[in-house]
């Protein structure tokens, strides 16, 4: 009977994780999704059964990314197995600490391991912090503000410690130390979050985002079509000019390198073309009147952009007295790269992007977390995705789905102030979680041996 309860708990948790992780506006469900499985894990008689059930639930939780990317990036299946394995090991650690150390240590160990493993993975992964649990917190605005202190690792810590604490609370409701170890940081995060959301933003800039999914990727296969594409976007730019935007953003790889665009507004446009020395260039061209500067994409999509040359430098300009940075799509997956802009107190990022249609929400919201981490607002114009304007607190100011016709989104976007704690101290919190995780693991091993 206990095993049947365990199977039911795993299936329920797996289904809730699938709904909460990376699939849409149900990220808050991750705060309760693992609870049935974790409660069972704490009283289950056999660790190997717990591991198997946790692995199953974890794999179910990766259904969204497998559906989004499986047809174009088969490596996502390997990543899903890895994520499920890490989740299962964290559940086993929770169980071990609960029985051999203390319930409080179990709650803390589960959250510390989650944050630490994600940090280590992000250091070596060609996909950066993709798949981090903390991204589920993007629509829980008060908790999201923790990213400005501790980065996505802080969000992952909160997203793990809350269900672990609730599971222990179900079995040990009178254990005050087990309650305090998760309730105190969560309450502190909420207090800080509401305070942060009440702080004033910087001056607003009117931004126009343009897109047309008919042209997504066309310039790569048909470079001869660039004159037609450039004429269409010149027409869109002229239409947008009627609303007097300070800046206009055109998606990634939409036009050919060498394209000339003019406007009274600053224009950032995604260009694609062959490099003189071989390979290809993925460029964001910054048009400022008669002057043009270029940002070269730093981070490429594994398996799809191997021929592209990587950039190494940031690009910052000033628009109406506000410091503005440039990045391209996947660059926003890498917290360390965007922290370089945070250190320079950039107040707004202009980002051409190209998504995979199904992952529009997932990938767009990852970029929103970079905004909160570094205190800048974000204007992200994607093809086959979402055109999004969000402020430095992660609030969505305006958003529109792209389609196979000319699309435009114009909005007044409050700029940020930069100067967050995270942009100054970096991943100190994640590193502290590594130390805590290793220490608790060593203590568990010592207790088991003695």
- Token pair, residue 88, equals 């299962």
Position 409 pLDDT exceeds 80: yes
DSSP 279: S
Position 388 pLDDT exceeds 80: yes
d(CA 193, CA 140): 10
pLDDT digits (tens, 9 = 90+) for 69-79: 877 788 888 88
Element (H, E) at 388: strand 386-390
Contact 134, 155 (CB under 8 A): yes
> HSE of 24 in the Cβ direction (CA atoms, 13 Å)?
7
Handedness of CA 273, 279, 284, 287 (dihedral sign): negative
Contact 157, 433 (CB under 8 A): yes
Give the mean model confidence (pLDDT) for residues 3-20. 89
Position 251 pLDDT exceeds 90: yes
- Token pair, residue 296, equals 């070269």
- Token pair, residue 121, equals 């993975």
Contact 157, 149 (CB under 8 A): no
Ramachandran class of 24: left when φ > 0, alpha when ψ lies in -120 to 50, beta otherwise: left
Element (H, E) at 238: helix 226-241
Q: Give the mean pLDDT of the chain.
A: 94
d(CA 83, CA 70): 15
pLDDT digits (tens, 9 = 90+) for 14-46: 999 988 876 567 889 999 999 999 999 999 888
Q: Which pLDDT band, with edges at 50, 70 and 90, does 95 fall under?
A: very high
pLDDT at 6: 86
DSSP for 346-382 reads: --EEEEEEE--STTHHHHHHHHHHHHHHHT-EEEEEE
pLDDT at 22: 61
pLDDT at 23: 56
Domain boundaries, the chain: 2-198+427-449, 204-416
DSSP for 111-148 reads: HHHHHHHHHHHHHH-TTTTTT-GGGGGGG-HHHHTTHH
DSSP for 326-346 reads: E--GGGGG-HHHHHHHHHTT-
> How many C-beta neighbours within 10 Å does residue 419 have?
14
Position 192 pLDDT exceeds 80: yes
SS3 of 227, please? helix
> How many C-beta neighbours within 10 Å does residue 306 have?
10
Out of 57-66, 164-173, 206-215, 387-396, least confident range: 57-66
Handedness of CA 223, 228, 232, 238 (dihedral sign): positive
DSSP 395: -
pLDDT at 24: 63
CATH of domain 204-416: 3.60.110.10
Give the mean model confidence (pLDDT) for residues 83-96. 97
DSSP 260: -
d(CA 207, CA 261): 17
Q: Which pLDDT band, with edges at 50, 70 and 90, does 230 fall under?
A: very high
Give the mean model confidence (pLDDT) for residues 296-318. 94
Which is higher by pLDDT, 425 or 23? 425
Contacts of 50 (CB under 8 A, 6+ apart): 6, 40, 41, 44, 91, 92, 95
Planar angle of CA 408, 412, 416, nearest 5 degrees: 120
pLDDT at 31: 96
d(CA 375, CA 202): 11
d(CA 279, CA 366): 29
pLDDT at 69: 80
Position 101 pLDDT exceeds 60: yes
| Of residues 272, 289, 372, 290, the one with CA closest to residue 328 | 272
Task: Measure the CA dihedral 195/346/309/382, to 10°.
Answer: 60
C-alpha of 208 from chain center? 23
Give the mean model confidence (pLDDT) for residues 250-269. 95
Give the mean model confidence (pLDDT) for residues 426-433. 97
Contact 364, 355 (CB under 8 A): yes
pLDDT digits (tens, 9 = 90+) for 349-372: 999 999 988 888 888 889 999 999
């Amino acid at each position: 009977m206990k095993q049947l309860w365990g199977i039911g708990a795993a299936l329920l948790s797996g289904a809730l994780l699938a709904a909460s992780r990376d699939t849409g506006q149900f990220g808050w469900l991750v705060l309760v999704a693992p609870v049935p499985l974790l409660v069972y894990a704490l009283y289950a008689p056999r660790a190997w059964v717990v591991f198997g059930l946790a692995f199953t639930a974890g794999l179910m939780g990766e259904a969204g990314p497998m559906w989004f990317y499986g047809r174009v990036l088969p490596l996502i299946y390997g990543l899903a197995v890895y994520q499920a394995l890490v989740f299962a090991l964290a559940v086993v650690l929770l169980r071990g600490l609960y029985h051999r150390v203390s319930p409080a240590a179990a709650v803390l160990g589960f959250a510390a391991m989650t944050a630490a493993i994600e940090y280590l993975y992000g250091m070596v992964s060609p996909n950066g912090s993709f798949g981090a649990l903390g991204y589920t917190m993007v629509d829980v605005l008060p908790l999201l503000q923790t990213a400005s202190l501790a980065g996505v690792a802080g969000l992952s810590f909160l997203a793990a410690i809350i269900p672990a604490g609730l599971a222990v609370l179900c079995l040990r409701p009178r254990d005050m130390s087990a309650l305090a170890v998760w309730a105190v940081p969560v309450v502190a995060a909420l207090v800080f979050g509401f305070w942060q959301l009440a702080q004033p933003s910087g001056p607003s800039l009117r931004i126009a985002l343009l897109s047309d999914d008919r042209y997504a990727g066309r310039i790569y296969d048909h470079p001869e079509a660039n004159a037609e594409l450039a004429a269409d976007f010149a027409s869109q730019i002229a239409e947008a000019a009627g609303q007097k935007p300070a800046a206009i953003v055109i998606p990634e790889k939409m036009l050919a390198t060498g394209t000339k665009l003019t406007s009274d507004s600053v224009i950032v446009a995604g260009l694609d073309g062959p490099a003189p020395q071989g390979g290809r260039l993925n460029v964001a061209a910054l048009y400022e009147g008669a002057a043009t500067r270029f940002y070269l994409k730093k981070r490429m999509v594994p398996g799809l952009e191997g021929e592209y040359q990587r950039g190494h430098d940031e690009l910052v300009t000033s628009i109406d007295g506000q410091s503005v940075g440039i990045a391209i799509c996947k660059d926003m997956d890498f917290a360390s790269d965007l922290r370089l802009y945070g250190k320079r107190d950039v107040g707004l990022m202009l980002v051409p992007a190209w998504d995979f249609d199904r992952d529009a929400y997932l990938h767009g919201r990852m970029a929103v977390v970079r905004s909160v981490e570094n205190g800048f607002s974000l204007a992200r114009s994607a093809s086959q995705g979402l055109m999004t304007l969000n402020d430095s607190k992660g609030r969505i100011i305006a958003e529109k789905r792209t389609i196979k016709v000319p699309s435009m989104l114009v909005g007044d976007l409050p700029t940020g102030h930069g100067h967050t704690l995270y942009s100054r101290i970096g991943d100190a919190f994640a590193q502290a979680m590594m130390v805590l995780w290793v220490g608790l693991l060593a203590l568990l091993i010592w207790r088991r041996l003695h």
